Structure 1
């Protein structure tokens, strides 16, 4: 298939990653459900990475393919959306069972919809859950919640979902495992002279034009959707790596941070992209958190999170997940020093202002964490 001589390149150091695994790597031949044939090597890559102190979230397709084996009569071409959702519901348990058999650590199923990631409060909840699952030493396996989704199962949905999850958890790299070696300058299935592109510096129109449609009967995504996902990840400062998950020698090299495939570079660093977004995302009108001098010094000098103890007041109306301004109150008036995403609403911030983080739950009756604004969600003004 094309020019697939094994030339290796180094993968930059990473600490947290998302691995997207397509249906073509999990579905058994002949519509017989799921097969561990290619999943095993990918699981070994994940296990080696975790043992090295890294964190991995898997975004896995395959639920519908698994469901087809349970009720093959419902898998006819052009099946109604309700039938496909039913297949996804049947197949989810099989999909998690497949991944759990490879790991001694617990596998946690996380089902998301795009609405979960568009709604600010649900976005924060999803991110907090995923990060807590990683902190607990589990392996999160994410899939779209097809069973209750009101949209049809879209082309490449899990590719784009993987990019969104990568941004959600502040990943350093997005790995996309597919059944082709990477991005070629022509269709390698029809053009024997097609050449693999080891690196893409910019996803311009000419690069997107190289991508064709889906090449698999069981997958819903083609190369174009993978490039769209890479563009989403790149906007968040995350590199994307495309590789052939069917080639064990390729997967083994990933353990040693060596790639035979295509690396799509982000336009800017992950931290720079995050800070740019925080600096320029729209503020809620009049939404401010007033802090004392001690809190202002900790934010500016120590890179700390904003704790309730340093808060004097909340002004304006804002909800959990809204972008707010942070101001320090002095004799000459209020000075804006930062902006960030509040973990609590204005009413809640007012209630816990000046109190210790350990008192939050006793005051509010619930707890979204000890920070009013986490340092990852905060950018200093003038920096």
Structure 2
């Protein structure tokens, strides 16, 4: 690890650090994090902060609400977000900016690019972006779900060199350290596989929405984009001192040596498939040959409704997911083509208009 190689980092701070006592925001653990951010900026390292905690920060304003319904939680988020931003502002002597996102802002390519542009512009003007999911309006359908995965998406969007995820334990252990005294910290992980996920356990915080599973998921997303990822203990100030000294205070997930291209990473890990196309089994031969051009001859069925340019899922009849891709046709037109009895019509049409998907906009999901 060499901190001098960082040009831009994303640091994720959870609800338990923001409001550890359930009585609104507290600077108890945030001071060390703020000092770390200021030290990074002083060394010319750009920082993006992903901060959870709006619901936890606002919960104390609704003490009589024993049952936290969704409308109550949204109201807590609305009030708590303002308190949280005010708390961060007090800790910095430079300008900050608030960005509230939903899955819609990230899965739509045009809006995702807009998010990227905003982050870059803020950093160019020495303003610290503080990003959170927009819990005041989000629904289950629009929800990213947890800020661990959101931080990985933001790190990819920001073209960060490193993602630092603050936890309430030192990193990833071979077993849950809260249940097993002989649990051993794993300092370095070069490949995230099923064995690594098996070591992760559920949430350890009473106010957080994620656990170690979501942190490993985030690390997987980030490392595939070429981003070194660290899970550290955010409650311990020495974690940040070690990072600044070039030491690893927790678990370091090494970045993939052959990272995915930005638009393919977005398609794989951020974009939501709006529909599906079911293909013949022998379409996998095209994937083996790295010729991922899909024509009507390969189609078995079209599912869902989607427009030109939407992300679609390509899968076999047996359910095997092969790829996510940008569709060059709408579902309406594809259904029309596939239902034509005259197969020459489809071939002639596609000779003039091109394939359904083309290889430059295909992200393979599973080797056939």
Aligned twin of 1:337:
none
Partner residue of 1:64 out of 55, 60, 74:
55
- Match among 264, 274, 277 for residue 277 of structure 1: 264
Q: SS at the partner of 2:91?
A: coil
Normalised by the length of structure 1, the TM-score is 0.67
Per the TM alignment, residue 190 of structure 1 is displaced from its structure 2 partner at its CA by: 1.1
Name the structure 2 match of 1:176: 165
Aligned residue in 1 for 2:20: 28
**Structure 2 residue aligned with 1:42, among 33, 37, 40?**
33
Q: Which runs of 5+ in 1 are unaligned?
A: 1-8, 282-317, 323-377, 379-383
- Counting only pairs closer than 5 Å after superposition, residues 61-210 of structure 1 correspond to structure 2 as 61-74=52-65, 76=66, 79-151=68-140, 157-210=146-199
Per-residue displacement from partner, 1:163-200 (whole Å, max 9, x unpaired)?
A: 00000010011000111000000110111111000011
Q: Rate the CA distance shift 1:126–1:155 in 2: closer, same or farther, 3 A.
A: closer
CA distance in 2, matches of 1:112, 1:80: 22
Are 2:241 and 1:248 aligned?
A: no
Q: 1:252 to 1:152 in 2, by over 3 A?
A: farther
Contact between 2:104 and 2:142, CA under 8 Å: does it hold in 1? no
Deviations 1:7-45 (A, max 9, x none): xx655721101000011111132x211110111000100
1:16 equivalent in structure 2: 8
For 2:144 and 2:112, how far apart are their aligned partners in 1? 23
Cα distance, 1:267 vs structure 2 = 2.1
**Separation (CA, whole Å) in 2 of partners of 1:73 and 1:122:** 39
Shift, 1:73, TM fit: 2.4
Shift in Å, 1:156: 5.8
Report the equivalent of 1:228: 217
Alignment check: 8 A CA contact 1:88 1:146 kept = yes
CA distance in 2, matches of 1:123, 1:73: 39
Secondary structure at the residue paired with 2:132?
Answer: strand
5+ long unaligned stretches in structure 2: 269-307, 312-359, 361-368
Q: In structure 1, how many angstroms separate the alpha carbons of the residues matched to 2:170 and 2:242?
A: 13
After TM superposition, give the deviation of residue 88 of structure 1 in Å. Answer: 0.4
Aligned positions, number = 275
Q: Distance in 2 between matches of 1:91 and 1:249?
A: 28
Aligned CA RMSD, in angstroms, stands at: 2.7
> 1:274: Cα distance to partner?
2.5
- 2:349 is matched with none
TM-score of the aligned structures, taking structure 2 as reference length: 0.70
Deviation, structure 1 residue 81? 1.3
Q: Is the 8 A contact 1:155 1:225 kept in 2?
A: no
